[in-house]
Structure 1
Amino acid sequence: MVSIRKRSKKVKKTNKKTLGKSIEERPEYINDRSEFGHWEIDLVLGKKTKGEAVMLTLVERQTRYALGVKLEDKQSQTINRAVTHLISQYPIASITADNGSEFSLLSNLEAVEVYFAHPYSSHERGKNENFNGLLREYVPKGVSLNPLTSEELDNYITAINERPRRLLQYQSSKFLFELSRTA
């Protein structure tokens, strides 16, 4: 005798907790990159194992200037400390992050506006994803980041920032960043 199993309807979950302001609430002057000081943030993983070091990357939306910091883990407290340190050194007016739990404490920052992209929508933070692809030229996927020194990471990021880009009329991100910072 053949038994036929009854199929149940799939139910979409709608109770996903939002971390803070949605990217839809981001003002138009940030979206069109007409104002300096608005950043996109992301994590770059090496090996996907527990206890593995990660790289925190930030990219300024207007100039495409990038910052990077090696962190020992991807806990939200560690990331919050690193971002707080960067805020004290660089002109950061707003940050756009993905919906990962590692960025959950960013909404507690009072010095900057924080916007969260929709889940599985990496294209909403395209500048950062593009930079991470450029960084992968130096640090391939699946390679442990533990032996990577902060000096090496700084050298990689400097090389990318000093690279002339067609998008920027063959000027470097570093040149435009320094120009905007002094203006």
Structure 2
Amino acid sequence: MNDGDDGAGRAAPSQRKDARRNKEALLDAAAAVFVASGVEAPVRDIAAAAGVGLGTIYRHFPTRADLIIAVYRHQVDACAEAGPALLATSPTPYAALEQWINRFVDFLVTKHGLAAVLQSHNVGFDTLHAYFIDRLVPVCTQLLEAAAAAGEIRSDLEAYELMRGVGNLCIGEESDPRYDARRLVELLVAGLRRPR
């Protein structure tokens, strides 16, 4: 009896990892479809991009709102997890900050694509902004503090202010094809450096 229980115990974590990977792949595919075609894109397009059947999507996300919320949270989590990883692998804390801000800009472009839906009156959307702040401000703070401790940037910078500034620079991206938000954000981040 114990042998069967032990075997099931070993198989379950592997199955959970596979299911988690499949769900993450589905969320990545949905995010890419949302960026390309908007949040009203047919679910069959998301299923095709993810390489799964429609039933798989509806099993995980019974409504479009559930899928949108999950995509948003997944992207917030990926951005949050990137900060410490970049800090550990980049040549300098400032380089990690630059790379993280680039990822944050990528996230914001997707987020602005979801903006109209996120402003709807769906109860599930109400907590997303707080989730965004709670997950990302500490990561940005960690990156700023590391770069300041290394003497690469000023030490009087607030993560929320920087993120707000980056967000404001990204707003014009959708409405003006000549507007280059990434270039403006690069100038903003370069301005954080201490003079040599």
Is the shorter-chain TM-score for this pair beyond 0.5, marking a shared fold? no
TM-score between both structures, scaled by the size of structure 1:
0.26
Larger Rg belongs to: 2
Which structure dedicates a bigger proportion of its chain to strand? 1
